[in-house]
Structure 1
Amino acid sequence: MEKFRPLSGFFEAISNDARISVAHIGLYAVLLHCWQEQGFENPVMAFSHEIMEKAKISARATYLKCLHDLNEMGYIRYERSYKRNNRSKVFLNVKCG
């Protein structure tokens, strides 16, 4: 069975990163899943409530903290949409090969 390289690459990158919590890992895994569902196109376009539900994150503050942490650490690039009817953009820094 072939590995899902972007997920494997993420786990390699975080192996020595003490800042990463289980919430960060869950959020990143859901973003990868959405990326896959959207045809492996960057950016991932999503509403926060969609991502939070899939990642089992119930507190908006936790979601935003993890998203901003992943952004600051360089695992993603997050562009928030300030309009309720527009999805935010999340660019994944993934290696596919």
Structure 2
Amino acid sequence: MDTASHLDRFFKDISVDARVTVTHISIYAAILQSLRKCGTKYLSMFGFELMQVVKISSGKTYYKAVRELNEFGYICYEPSFKKNRPSRISLPESSD
């Protein structure tokens, strides 16, 4: 995965997207970093694990921002809805 190109595209896209907040940016950066460390195309993590990385203590804030990033098309989020199974997060394929 080319982390730099994903980051460049993300910042280019959000420069004209007023919906994106600092919380969204922090979560996206943590997802990108975690994907880079794992070396896989998708991230299988529990929300509380990513919340620790992003330094968000409110589950409501975290899940709202993740759902919005998914709705806005910046990530692909597949919630598990099970306490013993992590959710799956990936980045959409590049349209360039």
TM-score by length of 1: 0.88
Residue 51 (str. 1) matches residue 55 (str. 2): no
Superposed, which structure 2 residues align to 1:63-82 within 5 Å? 63-82=62-81
What count of residue pairs does the alignment treat as equivalent?
93
Following superposition, the deviation at residue 82 of structure 1 comes to 1.9
Q: Write the deviation string for residues 39-75 of structure 1: whole angstroms up to 9, x where unpaired.
A: 0x22211110110010111111100110010011011
Q: Which amino acid aligns with 1:64?
A: Y
Task: Specify the alignment match of 1:84 in structure 2.
Answer: 83
Q: Write the deviation string for residues 1-36 of structure 1: whole angstroms up to 9, x where unpaired.
A: xx8221111101111100000000000000001110
Q: In structure 2, do the counterparts of structure 1 residues 31 and 94 end up closer, same or farther at CA, with 3 Å as the change threshold?
A: farther
Task: Specify the alignment match of 1:35 in structure 2.
Answer: 35
Higher relative contact order (CA 8 A, sep 6+): 1
Residue 25 (str. 1) matches residue 25 (str. 2): yes
Following superposition, the deviation at residue 94 of structure 1 comes to 5.4
Structure 1 unmatched ranges of 5 or more: none
Q: Please tell me whether the aligned partners of residues 34 and 44 of structure 1 are also in contact (alpha carbons under 8 angstroms).
A: yes
Q: In structure 2, do the counterparts of structure 1 residues 24 and 55 end up closer, same or farther at CA, with 3 Å as the change threshold?
A: same
Identity of aligned residues (%): 40
Structure 2 unmatched ranges of 5 or more: none
Provide the secondary structure at the position in 1 that maps to 2:56: coil
